[in-house]
Structure 1
Amino acid sequence: MADPQQQPLDEQVATPESMDEQADATPDLDAIHAAFEVERAEMRDRLMRSLADLENIRKRAEKDRREAAIYGGQKLARDMLSVYDNLNRALSLMDDGLREQQKGLAEGLDLTLRDLGNIFKRHGIELVTPQIGEQFDPHFHEAMFEAPVPGTKAGQIIQVVSEGFRLHEHLLRPAQVGVSSTPA
């Protein structure tokens, strides 16, 4: 009679020996269960770390993509600054007599400079134009020389040699300035 349904109730009642056998088997099940729980926790931890790594990679890639779109032309923009400077210098060297003589050339240079300035604005390139008397700021200015100037404080801008430029919040080129060395 192997079938428990067909065994009499007296035979189905647990005996102390069968209880010992079940007790011996229970620690094995508990140990297996504990091992599975530890492994499950480790796998869950690895999964969570992998998901976090994946999210960080996604964010970093998105940031890199945004920066590439904004600052991708930074090298070209920096190279174009000399063109802007040269056009500006050419116009500043033309006195009124030469402007009248070479009216077409002067207008062409003026229009080209204005157009280049508009292109700069459209692409987020802004002029850094310090004012005489402003305090020197090493984040935006490059000191080309120091000179004692009466009536000024040390560190004040006394001359603007060339304008600076920045692309959004990145400085492309600092404004080149002369700074007063007169003590306060």
Structure 2
Amino acid sequence: MEMPQDQTEAKDLNLEELEQFIETDELEALRAERDEWKDKFMRALADAENARKRGERDRREAEQYGGTKLARDMLPVYDNLRRALAAITDENRTHAAALIEGVELTLRELSSVLGRHGITTIVPKVGDVFDPQLHQAMFEAPVPGTTAGQIIQVMTEGFLIHDRLLRPAQVGVSSNTGA
């Protein structure tokens, strides 16, 4: 028994629609998989870029601040040389001129080496305003003619390594509430 022509075309049409539907589903599945892989690729690329930037930043910081511990350990040597030179009297200068010159040259060389590595001194002066970012208050005392927060004595210089505080300057601060 033969089907009328209309029914055959209807069956063929339904089969074509079905094939088209299957292909569309497969195509959509492939597109979704492609989008998923593209997203994973973009995330991996961003992670790699972030890791590169982080590595570069870490390298720069290690280069700039890697010697911090050694520098901090050398600061007492600097302080002792400064104290030795401050303790010299005029009489000592005439009797031990060569020794004193050697200490001065050693201090200058140490300062030069520290400077080459980005270490600078913080040298507050009496009368400057106390800055807790750069100074460490060792004591407070009421001193006539000063206002609260003024530096009244400098015990040791402070140091910066590039833009970071290596050691604060140790100072005495006025505790007066009025001038």
Give the TM-score taking structure 1 as reference length: 0.90
CA distance in 2, matches of 1:183, 1:40: 73
Root-mean-square deviation (Å) = 1.3
2:97 pairs with 1:103: yes
Q: Secondary structure at the match of 1:68?
A: helix
**2:120 aligned partner:** 126
Quote the offset at 1:146 in angstroms. Answer: 0.1
Matched with 2:70 is: 76
Q: Which residue of 2 aligns with 1:140?
A: 134
**Aligned equivalent of 2:17:** 23
1:23-102 alignment runs, 5 A limit = 23-102=17-96
Structure 1: 5+ residue stretches without partners: 1-10
Structure 1 residue runs of 4+, over 2 Å off? none
What are the superposed Cα offsets for residues 67-126 of structure 1, whole Å, 9 maximum, x if unpaired?
111111111111111110010111111111111111111111011111111111111110
- How much does 1:24 deviate? 1.3
Write the distance in 1 (CA, Å) between the matches of 2:94 and 2:73: 32
Structure 2 runs not aligned, ≥5 long: none
SS in 1 for 2:124: coil
Percent identical residues: 53
Q: What one-letter code is carried by the residue in structure 2 that aligns with 1:79? A: D
Question: How many residue pairs align between the two structures?
Answer: 172
